[in-house]
Structure 1
Amino acid sequence: MSDLLPCIEIETAPNPQAAVIWLHGLGADGNDFASVVPQLDLTGCLPIRFVFPSAPSMPVTINGGYVMPAWYDIAAPDLTHQQDIKGIQKSASAIAALIEREIQKGIPSNKIVLAGFSQGCAMALYIGLSFPQPLAGIIALSGYLPLAEKFLSFRNKANFNTPIFMAHGVWDPVVIPKRGEDSHALLKQHSYQVNWQTYPMEHSVHPTELADISLFLQEVLSLA
């Protein structure tokens, strides 16, 4: 993945002064969340460039080796055994390159939000907490922190104070609520600023959740 990942880009106004890089879940692509942008209330936000990258395709063990878009391989249903460290790190490098591209375009790191759903949530947390420059925020939806047992070794002090919005469906059968709850508890234990919310849904996105994401973006990417 030496070349930049293919992306869909949506700008809320000319000359964006902020960016949101939004990572899809397993088996999806960059189109998956592009339709969310018009549903967000971005009143009072800086002009934003939304970037929706697509993961490369690879065999996924939990799905019988079927080739599909994935940020890394998943070997076990509980998501915590035999984690694909090399795959996570490889995708992290590719996504970090997109952050660096936004910085090169003139958007400072502290005006960049990293968002993700499910497997994309895992990547958003991993990259956001380890990135060596401060980010504006992390949006972590229906996912978990991968490689949690190595968390203290890969986290970076640049993002110790970065606001984090974490959300999970109370009936999620794909990433069970305990995965998200455990990740939230670990971050709170180490004094991260986490806004934790749950919604009456399975593995999806709830209208109230979109309203809460809007408020989070209004806070971390405010014109003020």
Structure 2
Amino acid sequence: MAEHVQPRIFEALTPPHESTIIFLHGRGDSGHNVAPSLLFRPVNSDHSEASRSNSSLTFRHLLPRTKFVFPTAAKRRVQVYGDGTKINQWFDMESLAITDLEEEIQIEGIKESTDYILQLIKEEVDAGIPPEKIVIMGISQGCATGAIVTMRYPGTLGGFVGMSGWLPFISQVENMFREGSDTTTVVRHIEKTLGSDKEITEENITEALKTPVFLGHGVLDTKILPRCGERLRDALKSAKFEKVVFVTYSVGHWWCDEELLHIAVWLGMKGFSVNGLRTFIGTDIESLKEQALSHSDS
């Protein structure tokens, strides 16, 4: 396994620690760098004057009993540069515009990175957190990596939250589903592509497909086009993940506060401890629930 720096960890703000979010940064970023942007900036929204002027409640406050783990991708050579340059990336790739171009250079990194994240999940489970309370969350290449982790995990996770991302090997996956392959066959194909000998059973897949999915994408994203997020959504629906939500936002290649608020509400509906929502919507929780489950909920 490649060498990784220690993840940046933020314990639950309010004990006891009930759940864990493992957040996967984008290409060229790091867990240490992205953590403050996600956790420490006040969340603002247009629901009310109080929510527009909020200066104290952050995403971390909204999920007070959740531990946050921010791993950093290993430094990998960027082959397209041709000069030996290395950056933090979960896997190398030829192009962001065509995500499945030259897929063979992606394989080694996807295998190593997803094995690493699966090990982080195991460590949380060994520490007493049930898989149903562990969420894989990622942006851009972190979303792409998280999608493969979710498909490879042999059981039900608390959720997969993907932002502004895509699914690696998407054309292969789409073609297999189009030709009538079931999800077990597709996941076995992914494992074979990665050079993994991990056994994939129908029972494992049945449990994995119970993992709920929340996907957000900016309609102004010119780096990873919204169509990439739509193809990820459609592939997960073809795989028959039981609950897939896809929501678009007026933002570019990043998240927005409204998206974070929707994610917190969505997790609350899945049984995670959420606090502070009255600041945003008073007692009218149903209106926010409707937003958090809007667009393409299956």
The TM-score normalised by the length of structure 2 is 0.69
Judged with a 3 Å threshold, the aligned counterparts in structure 2 of structure 1 residues 61 and 220 are, in CA distance, closer, same or farther, namely farther
The structure with the largest alpha-carbon Rg is: 2
Judged with a 3 Å threshold, the aligned counterparts in structure 2 of structure 1 residues 221 and 33 are, in CA distance, closer, same or farther, namely farther
| 1:112 CA displacement | 0.3
Name the structure 2 match of 1:212.
Answer: 262
CA contact (8 A) 1:26 1:118 kept: yes
User: Gapped runs of 5+ residues in structure 2?
Assistant: 41-57, 175-182, 189-204, 275-298
More strand by share: 1
Percentage of matched positions with identical amino acids: 30
| 1:145 CA displacement | 1.3
Q: What letter corresponds to residue 123 of structure 1 in structure 2?
A: T
Aligned pairs, how many? Answer: 223
- 3-state DSSP of counterpart to 2:32: coil
Name the structure 2 match of 1:19.
Answer: 20
1:66 to 85, 110, 115: 85
Counterpart Cα distance in 1 of 2:115 and 2:246: 27
- 3-state DSSP of counterpart to 1:80: coil
Judged with a 3 Å threshold, the aligned counterparts in structure 2 of structure 1 residues 202 and 46 are, in CA distance, closer, same or farther, namely closer
Name the structure 1 match of 2:119.
Answer: 97
Counterpart Cα distance in 1 of 2:80 and 2:3: 28
Counterpart Cα distance in 1 of 2:226 and 2:148: 18
CA deviation profile, 1:158-203 (whole Å, cap 9, x unmatched): 2212110001111211111111111111222333211101111111
Name the structure 1 match of 2:66.
Answer: 48
CA deviation profile, 1:15-61 (whole Å, cap 9, x unmatched): 41211000000000002332222421755x57211000011111123
1:30-49 alignment runs, 5 A limit = 30-35=31-36, 36-38=38-40, 39-40=58-59, 43=62, 47-49=65-67
Judged with a 3 Å threshold, the aligned counterparts in structure 2 of structure 1 residues 106 and 5 are, in CA distance, closer, same or farther, namely farther
CA contact (8 A) 1:46 1:222 kept: no
Name the structure 2 match of 1:202.
Answer: 252
Counterpart Cα distance in 1 of 2:232 and 2:125: 29
Detail structure 1 runs of 4+ shifted over 6 Å in the superposition: none
CA deviation profile, 1:99-158 (whole Å, cap 9, x unmatched): 000011110111100000000000111101220121010000000111232483227332
Name the structure 2 match of 1:122.
Answer: 144
Judged with a 3 Å threshold, the aligned counterparts in structure 2 of structure 1 residues 112 and 2 are, in CA distance, closer, same or farther, namely same
2:155 to 115, 133, 152: 133
1:144 to 166, 189, 202: 166
User: Gapped runs of 5+ residues in structure 1?
Assistant: none
The TM-score normalised by the length of structure 1 is 0.90
Counterpart Cα distance in 2 of 1:128 and 1:189: 15
Counterpart Cα distance in 2 of 1:135 and 1:46: 19
- 3-state DSSP of counterpart to 2:76: strand
CA RMSD of aligned residues (A): 2.2
Counterpart Cα distance in 1 of 2:21 and 2:77: 28
- 3-state DSSP of counterpart to 2:252: coil
More helix by share: 2
Name the structure 2 match of 1:180.
Answer: 229
Judged with a 3 Å threshold, the aligned counterparts in structure 2 of structure 1 residues 158 and 48 are, in CA distance, closer, same or farther, namely same
Name the structure 1 match of 2:8.
Answer: 8
| 1:207 CA displacement | 1.5
